[in-house]
A and B are shown apart, each in its own frame.
Chain A
Amino acid sequence: MNIMERTFKYLDERLGTASLARATLRKVFPDHWSFLLGEIALFCLVVLIFTGTFLTFFYTPSIREVVYQGPYAPLQGSEVSAAYNSVLRLSFEVRAGLLMRQIHHWAALVFVAAIVVHLCRIFFTGAFRRPREVNWLIGIGLLFLALGEGFTGYSLPDDLLSGIGLRIFYSVTLAIPVVGTWVTYLLFGGEFPAPDIISRLFVFHIMLIPALLLALVAVHIAILVLQKHTQFPGPGHSERNVVGKRLWPEQTFKSVSLLLFVTAVLALLGGLGQINPVWQYGPFVPYNVTSPAQPDWYIGFLDGALRLGPPWDLTLWGFTISEVFWPAILFPGIAFGILTLWPWIERRFTRDRAEHHLLDHPRDTPVRTGIGAAGLMVFFIMFLEGGNDIFGVLLNVTVETITRILQWSLVIAPILTFLVTYWTCKSLSRTRLRPARINAGVRLSRTPDGGYETVSLEPAATDGEREPAGTGQHGS
């Protein structure tokens, strides 16, 4: 027996790994590009963990005042926090430090983007339906954790731009009815800018949120393996099977290749795309502000919501509800509440309690597709408003005009989006045209003796398993 065989035997006799490993290697992955979106998010997380670990070796989570004496001339001699100082040192004095920092930041942006697009895929194809509601909830939890991870990380350098972001976040938590002041004081450790906030953000960013994130990712994937993948309707695809490529070798090669590509793109962005140049913003000073001030893209909708919000505060029996409450607490509460509960909301109307492993084509579910598109439009308008000062300069119109237009758009555009999407889906569905798919129809095959023949696309069954039982739903 060679060393490999002996190792396998050793492990199998103690852990029973052989049958598990065999089943894992044979796991079947549907062959469709949209199934790779979640993987992109996962691979960004891998890059984030590696680059982030490197960054922690240099970062100082403290607002103790120090005098900057590094090589960046414009700031030499100025009083900055130890946190800010350590980020400058990492950027200018640690070899490959800036690269790691920029890759980390880009990876965070792509991470959230990949999660959002993955979420859209799940939503628009109905992949959240029974039995996958639990994994939908976990996915939403992961989205929130990713947003929290992004915001806390973005605030760590203690620069002027992120300090303003923290100030706004503090104001938002203050606006929570009844318990807002207490929650804010416990979270921030006192009135802004309380001295403990940076070190607390650090603990959230490198321990609490990542621990939860990784735990939930593990459960997310475990449930995926347990329930097996969904698949689009197609020849040989049924509710009772999964058709695709095995984990080994096809999917492994593909996934590792994707991991490498994701890393390559992030390295390129981190090397060439300057991001968050905190030395240009300067250190945080509570009475200064940068202008224009835009957060990372995934917080943009919230900043835009704050800009669009109506100037209505409310006093009831001497208690105040801030104008910040409507756009920054109530709106996200409702929007993300609907998103979280969507599987149950939809079921109330469709009364569909059956298990679904075959995906919907978005065109075949015009109401869901329309609602999803309208929801995206709401977020998109708020995102645009988040840059109203930049658009004002670019388009040479006043900020007031842009804000008014977008306020009206917020009422009109989602309705229009819903109607247009609904009717587009309806007419596409009626024409019975289908997007061209790789495995549609028949295939021409070469026989071993050199001739050609057409073969029907009934896929092969895995060893030890039965033929596809039902023909299922053939889409075309």
Chain B
Amino acid sequence: MTDSDQGSERVDVDRRSEQGPAGAPGGPGDRGGRPDQAMTGGQRRAERRAAVALAVAILAGIGLFIVYFAGGQTQIEGVLFAIAFGGLGIALGVWANHLLDAREVVEERHELTSGAAGRQAFEMALTEEVGPVLGRRSVLVGLLAGAGGALGLALLLPVLSLGPAPGNSLKVTPWRRGLRVVDEEGQPVSLDQVPQDGFLTVFPEGHEGTADAQALLIHVRPGSLRLPPERMAGVPEGTHVAYSKICTHAGCPVSLYEQETSRILCPCHQSQFDVSDGAKPFFGPAARPLPQLPLGVDEQRVLIAEGDFTEPVGPAFWDRGRQ
């Protein structure tokens, strides 16, 4: 036993103890005394507190039984669980802080490294035992590596089965020339159906709800669109314009339309597109306009598509601009 060891055997002043001198500058580090000594008042109180906490935990546990069999109730169950666990936690915490012989101890560190000698011994072992085994069979070792590599790559191949080749799929949608424009229920949309300043989410007939085909049909005021003539050709009566509903930034549905300013707003990242100016972005992180869907009208004034979108819909990808 060393001097310092004996030092820690002394009973330290419990700062909360009434037996200590008033305002004693004792450190709060070590509380409580040896178990073989008489309990201080602080310890007796601590023991009482721990006992009360445990009793409360027991009651909460019983309460959980009752609540569960009575049909269950989320809030009460949560609170009772919290009380039960909390009571146990308090009891153990009080125990740790007041009723244990908390001694500070010192542990020496040991060297982590094996040292130069240890490393040298390992190198020796390598040259003596690995070298002769593998070195003499260099052809076999080379072939072994080759076989391992070939097999390894072959084993990776099934990863390619996880998905289809992207091919052209990101650049086309189900929209075709002549397909009727329908709403999400599959009802054809006629020219007179959408009131001025109104808008509607539309799909190609037979593809209702399809993610990449979703388009926003907007009935704008006459003369408000500023589009080049070839794109105006896809806007029946100059008032029924349709744009892809997939944000060109990160792909959210651009579902907010503000008629006074005739802008489309993406609720995810607040990109804003100017409907009258070809749905070009004018604020926010989106860089490209929403692709336009060229529309026409059939004999019953029902809207039909004149073709697919003018550009690939949705967010950009590497070969987006390639044919």
Contact = CB atoms under 8 A, between A and B. Distances in A.
Contacts of A365: none
A98 B316 CA distance: 40
Contact of B12 (A99, A312, A446): A446
Contact of A96 (B68, B100, B267): B68
Contact of B209 (A190, A287, A318, A465): A287
Interface string B105-127: 11111001000000000000000
Interface in A452-474: 452, 455-462, 465-469
A213 B109 CA distance: 29
A70 interface: no
Contact of B316 (A175, A267, A293, A455): A175
B37 to A, nearest CB: 8
A358 to B, nearest CB: 11
Given A95-B72, A286-B209, A261 B267 contact: no
B86 A264 contact: yes
Contact of B163 (A185, A400, A457): A185
Contacts of B44: none
A313 B287 contact: yes
B255 A455 contact: no
Contacts of B229: none
A172 B299 CA distance: 43
Interface stretch (B73-81, B145-153, B190-198, B234-242): B73-81
B288 interface: yes
Given A164-B268, A190-B163, A306-B269, A318 B321 contact: yes
A180 interface: yes
B260 interface: no
Interface string B12-29: 110000001100111111
B291 to A, nearest CB: 14
Interface stretch (B91-99, B128-136, B219-227, B301-309): B91-99
Nearest to B208: A287
Interface string A434-461: 0000111101111110001001111111
Contacts, number: 350
Contacts of B184: 287
B188 interface: no
Nearest to B162: A186
Contact of A322 (B84, B105, B316): B316
Interface in A86-110: 95-96, 98-99, 102-103
B250 interface: yes
Given A256-B92, A461-B4, A265 B268 contact: no
A267 B78 contact: yes
Contacts of B267: 289-293, 389
A180 B163 CA distance: 13
A319 B321 contact: yes
A110 B288 CA distance: 39
A398 B305 CA distance: 37
A249 B13 contact: no
Interface residues of A, number: 126
Give the contact-size bracket for chain B.
Answer: 35 or more
Interface in B1-44: 2-5, 7-8, 10-13, 20-21, 24-30
Contacts of A414: none
B112 A131 contact: yes
Given A291-B267, A323-B286, A171 B29 contact: no
Nearest to B33: A446
A403 interface: yes
A443 B89 contact: no
A138 to B, nearest CB: 16
A180 B20 CA distance: 71
Contacts of A416: none
B105 A245 contact: yes
Classify the secondary structure of A's interface with B: mixed
A461 B11 contact: no
B201 interface: yes
A403 B271 CA distance: 11
Interface stretch (A117-125, A234-242, A374-382): A234-242
B278 interface: no
Contacts of B281: 311
Contacts of A308: 285
Given A172-B250, A443-B12, A320 B106 contact: no
Contacts of A455: 7, 10
A236 B322 contact: no
Contacts of A312: 287
A78 B269 CA distance: 29
A187 interface: yes
Given A306-B249, A323-B286, A389 B270 contact: yes
Contacts of B320: 320
A352 interface: no
Contacts of B83: 264
A445 B249 CA distance: 69
Contact of B4 (A256, A438, A460): A460
30 contacts: A28-B106, A167-B251, A174-B315, A174-B317, A182-B163, A185-B165, A186-B160, A186-B162, A190-B169, A240-B108, A249-B100, A260-B89, A263-B89, A267-B78, A306-B250, A307-B284, A311-B249, A311-B281, A315-B321, A320-B319, A321-B318, A323-B285, A323-B286, A452-B13, A452-B21, A455-B10, A459-B8, A460-B2, A460-B4, A467-B4
Interface of A: 26-28, 31, 95-96, 98-99, 102-103, 131, 164, 167-168, 170-172, 174-182, 184-194, 226-228, 236, 239-246, 249-250, 253-254, 256-261, 263-265, 267-272, 285-293, 303, 306-313, 315, 318-324, 327, 355, 357, 388-389, 399-400, 403, 438-441, 443-448, 452, 455-462, 465-469
A-B pairs with lowest CB-CB distance, top 7: A271-B78, A260-B89, A253-B96, A267-B81, A322-B316, A291-B267, A264-B85
Interface of B: 2-5, 7-8, 10-13, 20-21, 24-30, 68, 71-72, 74-79, 81-86, 88-90, 92-93, 95-96, 100, 102-109, 112, 159-160, 162-166, 169-170, 184, 201, 209-212, 214, 245, 249-253, 255-256, 267-271, 281, 283-288, 314-322
